[in-house]
């Protein structure tokens, strides 16, 4: 059975009791539009209320899982815009984290920004040995509140500083060693190993699992979304960072001798 997530760039199909949500926007390298972010949130909600479904696996297509939001601000034909004035409620990260139904990330390739947050907030992230990762928000002038809260809980303060302030790339094995993801598998085995992880979680008792997840999630602390969205609306840095990205140049804050 197929489910409508409000955008042609997401495909959600049930496979017995397990649903797959596939990020499929190859023309934009799977960059996430607002409708796609909200569609992933819808997918999690569906699997929590549909009695025929027990778990959700999120994956991408080709060599890209998800690179984060579309910095060009583009949307595609056929997308249903999210309800107006949602602010941070458009984002799926907390919904994924708090889902009673298991959510598994099958990371097939490039995974950064919002894509990496999806993987981190999933119950288990299974990554291809070809996957690569990055936390690039500060390159674009974005003070990302979810990362500031979640990343230290996964990696510790020193590594979180390194990843956020350097915005460097790293591979799947390093991501596992740092605690961002938990499993790395041969690329050709990714689908089957994602199913294995999902079935393992489904063996655990739902009510007890929900209580354990609640206690684990307390380690993230508060997420300062008001600050983040104020900066996105009022600070000149996100606009300059996104403009520089589209123009393929260094932002104005980068010292000329280091560009």
**pLDDT tens, position by position, for the chain (259 residues)?**
789 999 999 999 998 999 999 999 999 999 999 999 999 999 999 999 999 999 999 999 999 999 999 877 777 888 987 877 667 888 999 999 999 999 999 999 999 999 999 999 999 999 999 999 999 999 999 999 999 999 999 999 999 999 999 999 999 999 999 999 999 999 999 999 999 999 999 999 999 999 999 999 999 988 999 999 999 999 999 999 999 999 999 999 999 999 8
Q: Is 2-220 a CATH 3.40.50.720 domain? A: no
- One DSSP character per residue, 26-90 reads GGGTTPBPHHHHHHHHHHHHHHHH-TT--EEEEE-BTTEEE--B-TT----TTPPPPPTT-GGGG
What is the SS3 assignment for 256? Answer: helix
pTM for this structure?
0.95
Do residues 120 and 160 make contact, with C-beta atoms less than 8 angstroms apart?
Answer: no
222 CB burial (10 A radius; 0-12, 13-18, 19+): exposed
Looking at the DSSP bridge assignments, the partners of residue 14 are 19
Do residues 33 and 26 make contact, with C-beta atoms less than 8 angstroms apart?
Answer: no
Tokens representing residue 7 in the block: 């955008």
**125: nearest Cα among 110, 140, 105:** 105
Q: What is the pLDDT of residue 221?
A: 86
**78: nearest Cα among 166, 13, 10:** 10
Q: What is the pLDDT of residue 82?
A: 80
Q: What is the pLDDT of residue 247?
A: 94
Checking DSSP bridges between strand 64-66 and strand 110-112, what pairing results, if any? parallel
**E-only strand ranges, the chain:** 2-3, 10-15, 18-23, 55-59, 64-66, 103-107, 110-112, 124-128, 132-134, 169-171, 183-185
**160: nearest Cα among 151, 170, 169, 150:** 151
Tokens representing residue 34 in the block: 């607002």
Q: What phi and psi, each to the nearest 5 degrees, are found at residue 33?
A: -80, 165
Tokens representing residue 185 in the block: 């598998």
């Amino acid at each position: 059975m197929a489910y409508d997530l409000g955008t042609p760039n997401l495909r959600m199909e049930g496979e017995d009791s397990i649903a797959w949500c596939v990020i499929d926007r190859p023309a934009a390298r799977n960059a996430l539009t607002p409708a796609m972010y909200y569609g992933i949130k819808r997918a999690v909600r569906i699997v929590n209320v549909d009695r025929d479904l027990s778990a959700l696996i999120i994956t991408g297509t080709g060599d890209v899982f998800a690179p984060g939001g579309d910095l060009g601000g583009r949307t595609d034909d056929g997308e249903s815009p999210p309800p107006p004035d949602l602010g941070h409620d458009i984002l799926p990260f907390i919904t994924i984290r708090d889902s009673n139904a298991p959510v598994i990330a099958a990371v097939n390739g490039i995974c950064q920004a919002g894509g990496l947050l999806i993987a981190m907030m999933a119950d288990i992230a299974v990554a291809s040995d070809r996957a690569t990762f990055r936390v690039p928000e500060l390159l674009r002038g974005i003070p990302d509140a979810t990362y500031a809260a979640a990343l230290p809980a996964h990696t510790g303060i020193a590594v979180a500083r390194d990843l956020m302030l350097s915005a460097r790339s790293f591979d799947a094995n390093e991501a596992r060693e740092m605690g961002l993801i938990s499993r790395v598998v041969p690329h050709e085995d990714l689908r089957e190993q994602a199913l294995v992880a999902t079935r393992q979680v489904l063996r655990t008792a739902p009510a007890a699992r929900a209580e354990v997840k609640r206690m684990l999630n307390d380690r993230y602390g508060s997420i300062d979304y008001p600050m983040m969205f104020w900066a996105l609306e009022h600070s000149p840095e996100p606009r300059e960072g996104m403009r520089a990205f589209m123009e393929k140049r260094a932002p104005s804050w980068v010292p000329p001798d280091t560009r």
